[in-house]
A and B are shown apart, each in its own frame.
Chain A
């Protein structure tokens, strides 16, 4: 059913409507509201100049500071907030894509009762009598369901609600939660403690089925800390971190590991037990396969050789006893880990499902959670919710699966439209401020919680000020509040780490070998738990390592698949615990045999025009008791084939081709660094020399050692440069549209140890660019600062430039992807509001490509000219560079002797891609430095 209250108008309709209302206004007397131009312009507001505001976005309740760039009150780009501990100036893919979800045409626009549009007043009149009755019973039968909440304000309001309704029950559910980690801490320490490794102080790191560099609330901070310890630079003495990974499924962390072992989860557990035994624990060392034993020998020696600088990590999906064991190991190693107290837990989801079924539930308020989609299947939550006769209320920005089953649905404001506060993973508080008037009205969680707590008409702003007024006192409030809003972070609010008690060794009964295949569930690197499924940028962004877009697949080790006579793309029926699911198979090198893996987040039914029906819904097999590993999976080939959409697959590099992404051992690096930088003579070229005496010579250096393949740069580029979505059909036709791609190559010898390397490839801006002489109309030309620029309005679309580009970085508008032939609903005028006004939106039939964010260079040049100075080094930050959580991308002026890029270009591991073609690229690379353990190297 189309939305009733907020019909989405076409451009033409909107223009006509506007014209009509303008006529009405001018012909029928006074306008309803006085419209005048700025007599006193808002401070700092210059039309055409962007302004930046600090705010906070949350993932799993944890805040990540962002700076939003706004043009005349319209946010168009999010970047990291350097002051915020969970951002440090970098972003991740989710943060970059959040700006598009603000303008999602599928967002809910109206209050609904039983699916029909209704008013908020009607909702109030339905709720009030209920509340009165509930109050009389002390709140028995009132349930509240939220996601993970760190917000001090929401916690305060929930506290009030519970004070008013003492018998009310609060449930919190996150599909990707910390319950195993907290349970492990409780087993080890007797306290709910959250462990936060300080990777920036570590020299040896062991991940046991953990993915600190993978997606999640702490990805950016971990990547930054990891990068700080992996700097291979001439003359730099700081230690270089060594990373070991033991994991069943290839992760970003495993890809960056110096040594990685593909082990089944129970073997990872055995490895951890054996390690604990080596460290002196009173446990029997289990039998390990020879490869694992060798790994353990080297690893245990290395860990013990670095007391105070060695740390082990377990992932959220590791079982509690493994977490407890890791705590024991870390304390034993004196590992750099901070322990933070975790707040009191809310109730889990299972009792809520029970209450729905047994009828004891009277009123249910769901804030932001979507259990009808993402609850484990064995809870039967959706069914129970649909059948319940209680008053069920859903507040959320989308009319999702849960909203469809609730009696009332209230549209929630987007996080960029609303006031809120969040805590970072380290406990630092930050305040989120609205950047735009709510596009579709909507309500805040604080308002609804206020209603239940007896505060009618409480808005989020007032609620927030109350919270912080309590914290700071009235006198000191205003300056602190302003400072917190300005900085995007509440200074000095980080939680103080506690000293944990001596850890207990957990009970480690020998685990029986699970029968058959074990199904591993993992959050999707691009869609997380499915909440981002309606974001086409994320859907179309190749997932790291699998490279898949627009869907998920059952990942199997190649040997496992061969044993079952399955090939890439075979549709299989997964049977587990009496439930069934169909998904295509994808062979994933580096996976352990005996397990299969599926990403959460697919198969949404009510995500919207983009996300509906994309991928397989892994929740359909999930069990509340076994959330991450489900043994006993049966596979049955359906005989059908599905197309796996992979714009660029990962390729194995061997022999000659390893020069595309070379790897140096630290010893080789040191040997080269000891020699003076060799000036290699440049081969002659028939091209005229580029760049005059004046002006800069822009160049980029990408350190492949640091790149963790997280895709933040890819999405930052997309957001900054108005790169359109093309949709799955066009991806299937091999016409994906990213200006910056991350080529993934397998550098390892075997399928078990693929050792993937990531190589971000933007335009090389060659000095002797092959694309230029072949263009018949001079649409591809060089500018004075060495940029290879594409003149869109001169391009006639011969595509010779891309044909002749050895790097194939150019992208063609085969259809009007942003010009009348958009995918799904992306032609909606609302989506156009996200476009960066400083970048042309390209029409059909023209070639486009990376511009080194020429609009940012231009802005810096103008600013410098106005102030009569030169552009400072580091003043121009390309979108990909500023997004990179690992700071792998450097950009600057080659002509400045002291600039960061010219220094990096003299590093011993510096190289140009396809150097032999004499294209003289301005984008160059630093080869991967690998810190291998000699004890594990000789055999390979």
Chain B
């Protein structure tokens, strides 16, 4: 057969199943954690503790320790929430959309991308609670039966937001676990300790690798993948509704849902690139996470950047053509107001810097793609905070205009959430296979078939 090699540039040329499985699972089962891991883990644990301390302080002293004020009632927690949920968008998308479109390069990265989704969405889910004045009553957003006959107020986007986060998180967990089952069986079979055999054995749910198992698994997995795509779109569309379903200039825009979804994929892919580089280096997976992965993801980032440019352009154009003085005033404020330097920096990060990736040489350089990804994630965070600041700082009545000044706690909680994310990823790297072994095996199988 002369079909092109689907695994070209994705697997080592002479790889065998045994080598593949060993490359990935030895990290979990055979080798002690290295010095770098230990240092990173200690740092991440410290930051996690700091986050816990900040949250405790927030609960004791109240939301007033943050920089939110009478005009700018939303601040860092909401921006962090939107940013994290955006990052959480990419994992399931990579897994599901690339599976359905039969992209072979998905195999090495889908596992940690899914894990990233679960962690990011979980962290994102904390923020709306942290930002509440009375976080103890967050459960009032759920339609639970109660003696007061009170239900959530269904017209509010926040209720649907809450529902969509929970649905997305639950779904992502199921999808992730389903993809994990064959690898759990592999780990069970390779385990040398009784505890390993029992724990991985339980998680493997009795997987024996029979053809019927594989056939059922594949069917369910693809069905769930098809279900996942609408959720990927809905979760960030509904987050966009928090802003769009309002009366404020700069928020009340029909473009917001698609614009948020594109932004989410954009920043999510950025985060996947960063994590891929770290895992590749840290776990020595140069063999399976290759230059081709980065080149492909570079193209997607470039496409995302163009999508963002289109969104910004549409936003400006419709503000201009609407003739609404409030919208025009908002547009003027974006470019000349108190936050104009940040806004221009955001445009630079999200629109200008990714244009580097037009160059093939840049796409093939892992360092360049990672640098672009880091920059665009900073840009995306700026975008999230500026959506809030620009609208709330410059409202209809001039008398109530004023800026937001972040406090130390705002920054510490943001940093703490990054530390907590790192902590979770580091734990993941030690207890679960960082790449889907069975998917890589399938890729190897396809290569052998095509030879």
Chain A positions within 8 Å of B, measured between CB atoms, are 648-649, 651, 653, 656-657, 660, 730, 733-736, 741, 743-745, 759, 761, 770, 773-778, 794-800, 802-804, 806-808, 811-816, 821, 843-847, 913-914, 917, 919
| Contact status of A653 and B64, CB under 8 A, knowing A734-B70, A808-B71 | no
Of B298-306, B372-380, B396-404, the stretch lying at the interface with chain A is B396-404
Measured between beta carbons, the chain A residues less than 8 angstroms from B400 are 648, 743, 807-808
| Docked complex Cα distance between A846 and B73 (Å) | 12
Contact A806 B132 (CB under 8 A): no
Which residues of B386-440 are within 8 A (CB) of A?
392, 395-402, 405
Contact A773 B134 (CB under 8 A): no
Contact A770 B247 (CB under 8 A): yes
Contact A845 B247 (CB under 8 A): no
Contact A774 B132 (CB under 8 A): no
| Docked complex Cα distance between A605 and B317 (Å) | 59
User: Can you show 15 pairs from A to B with CB atoms below 8 A apart?
Assistant: A651-B398, A734-B71, A735-B64, A774-B155, A776-B141, A776-B159, A777-B152, A795-B134, A796-B140, A796-B141, A799-B74, A799-B131, A806-B248, A806-B396, A808-B70
| Docked complex Cα distance between A846 and B242 (Å) | 20
| Docked complex Cα distance between A811 and B71 (Å) | 9
Q: Which of B61, B138, B392 contacts A796 (CB 8 A)?
A: B138
Contact B158 A814 (CB under 8 A): no
Contact A803 B73 (CB under 8 A): yes
The 6 closest A-B pairs by CB, nearest first: A797-B133, A845-B133, A814-B64, A743-B399, A734-B69, A799-B73
| Docked complex Cα distance between A734 and B392 (Å) | 13
Measured between beta carbons, the chain A residues less than 8 angstroms from B392 are 803
What's the nearest-Cβ distance from chain A to residue B218, in Å? 40
B132-154 CB mask vs A (1 if < 8 Å, else 0) is 11110110110000000011110
What's the nearest-Cβ distance from chain B to residue A799, in Å? 4
Contact A804 B247 (CB under 8 A): yes
| Docked complex Cα distance between A800 and B397 (Å) | 18
| Docked complex Cα distance between A741 and B399 (Å) | 10
| Docked complex Cα distance between A804 and B156 (Å) | 12
Measured between beta carbons, the chain A residues less than 8 angstroms from B74 are 799, 803
Measured between beta carbons, the chain B residues less than 8 angstroms from A814 are 62-64, 68-69, 133
Residue of A nearest to B405 (CB): A733
Asked if B246 is an interface residue, CB under 8 A from chain A, the answer is: yes
| Docked complex Cα distance between A913 and B133 (Å) | 29
Measured between beta carbons, the chain B residues less than 8 angstroms from A845 are 62-63, 132-135
Known: A815-B64, A821-B64. 15 other contacts (CB 8 A): A733-B67, A734-B402, A743-B400, A745-B399, A761-B397, A798-B132, A799-B131, A802-B70, A806-B248, A806-B397, A807-B397, A808-B400, A814-B62, A844-B133, A919-B247
Residue of B nearest to A744 (CB): B399
Contact B70 A736 (CB under 8 A): yes
Contact B246 A774 (CB under 8 A): yes
B240-251 CB mask vs A (1 if < 8 Å, else 0) is 001001111000
Asked if B157 is an interface residue, CB under 8 A from chain A, the answer is: yes
Measured between beta carbons, the chain B residues less than 8 angstroms from A770 are 246-247
Contact A776 B133 (CB under 8 A): no
| Docked complex Cα distance between A814 and B397 (Å) | 22
What's the nearest-Cβ distance from chain A to residue B70, in Å? 5
Asked if B206 is an interface residue, CB under 8 A from chain A, the answer is: no
Contact B133 A648 (CB under 8 A): no
Q: Which of A648, A761, A775, A913 contacts B156 (CB 8 A)?
A: A775
Measured between beta carbons, the chain B residues less than 8 angstroms from A743 are 397, 399-400
| Contact status of A778 and B157, CB under 8 A, knowing A733-B69, A804-B248, A806-B397 | no
Contact B397 A776 (CB under 8 A): no
Contact B399 A648 (CB under 8 A): yes
| Docked complex Cα distance between A846 and B132 (Å) | 9
Q: Which of A773, A796, A844 contacts B62 (CB 8 A)?
A: A844
Contact B396 A914 (CB under 8 A): yes
What's the nearest-Cβ distance from chain B to residue A915, in Å? 11
Measured between beta carbons, the chain A residues less than 8 angstroms from B71 are 734, 808
| Docked complex Cα distance between A774 and B153 (Å) | 8
Asked if B325 is an interface residue, CB under 8 A from chain A, the answer is: yes
Measured between beta carbons, the chain B residues less than 8 angstroms from A803 are 73-74, 246, 248, 392
| Contact status of A745 and B398, CB under 8 A, knowing A774-B157, A776-B162, A804-B248 | yes
| Docked complex Cα distance between A570 and B169 (Å) | 53
Measured between beta carbons, the chain B residues less than 8 angstroms from A660 are 397-398
What's the nearest-Cβ distance from chain B to residue A714, in Å? 14
| Docked complex Cα distance between A811 and B133 (Å) | 12
Measured between beta carbons, the chain B residues less than 8 angstroms from A806 are 247-248, 395-397
| Docked complex Cα distance between A733 and B137 (Å) | 26
Measured between beta carbons, the chain B residues less than 8 angstroms from A657 are 398
What's the nearest-Cβ distance from chain B to residue A222, in Å? 26
| Docked complex Cα distance between A847 and B152 (Å) | 17
Residue of A nearest to B403 (CB): A734
Contact A778 B133 (CB under 8 A): no
What's the nearest-Cβ distance from chain B to residue A798, in Å? 6
Interface-centre pick from A648, A734, A770, A795 (highest chain B CB count, 10 A): A734
Contact A775 B153 (CB under 8 A): yes
Contact A796 B64 (CB under 8 A): no
Measured between beta carbons, the chain B residues less than 8 angstroms from A651 are 398-399, 401
| Docked complex Cα distance between A795 and B141 (Å) | 11
| Contact status of A774 and B156, CB under 8 A, knowing A651-B398, A660-B398, A797-B63 | yes
Contact A778 B399 (CB under 8 A): no
| Docked complex Cα distance between A733 and B245 (Å) | 28
| Contact status of A778 and B150, CB under 8 A, knowing A812-B133, A814-B64 | yes
Interface-centre pick from A804, A815, A847 (highest chain B CB count, 10 A): A804
Contact B133 A795 (CB under 8 A): yes
Contact A774 B245 (CB under 8 A): yes
Contact A796 B132 (CB under 8 A): yes
What's the nearest-Cβ distance from chain B to residue A682, in Å? 17
Measured between beta carbons, the chain B residues less than 8 angstroms from A843 are 134
Contact A778 B64 (CB under 8 A): no
| Docked complex Cα distance between A736 and B71 (Å) | 10
What's the nearest-Cβ distance from chain A to residue B338, in Å? 13
B153-173 CB mask vs A (1 if < 8 Å, else 0) is 101111100100000000000
| Docked complex Cα distance between A413 and B153 (Å) | 53
| Docked complex Cα distance between A660 and B397 (Å) | 8
B165-183 CB mask vs A (1 if < 8 Å, else 0) is 0000000000000000000
| Docked complex Cα distance between A920 and B150 (Å) | 28
Measured between beta carbons, the chain B residues less than 8 angstroms from A847 are 133
What's the nearest-Cβ distance from chain A to residue B166, in Å? 14
Residue of A nearest to B75 (CB): A799
| Docked complex Cα distance between A26 and B325 (Å) | 73
Contact B150 A794 (CB under 8 A): yes
Contact A796 B133 (CB under 8 A): yes
Residue of B nearest to A797 (CB): B133
Residue of A nearest to B247 (CB): A770
Measured between beta carbons, the chain B residues less than 8 angstroms from A811 are 70
| Docked complex Cα distance between A656 and B328 (Å) | 12
| Docked complex Cα distance between A656 and B326 (Å) | 10
Residue of B nearest to A737 (CB): B70
| Docked complex Cα distance between A843 and B137 (Å) | 14
| Docked complex Cα distance between A803 and B405 (Å) | 17
What's the nearest-Cβ distance from chain A to residue B159, in Å? 5
Measured between beta carbons, the chain B residues less than 8 angstroms from A730 are 64
| Docked complex Cα distance between A794 and B128 (Å) | 17
| Docked complex Cα distance between A806 and B252 (Å) | 12
What's the nearest-Cβ distance from chain A to residue B237, in Å? 17
| Docked complex Cα distance between A770 and B157 (Å) | 13
| Contact status of A735 and B132, CB under 8 A, knowing A651-B398, A804-B248, A808-B397 | no
Residue of A nearest to B402 (CB): A734
Residue of B nearest to A771 (CB): B247
What's the nearest-Cβ distance from chain A to residue B29, in Å? 46
Measured between beta carbons, the chain A residues less than 8 angstroms from B138 are 796
| Docked complex Cα distance between A651 and B405 (Å) | 21
Contact B69 A797 (CB under 8 A): no
Measured between beta carbons, the chain B residues less than 8 angstroms from A777 are 137, 140-141, 150, 152-153
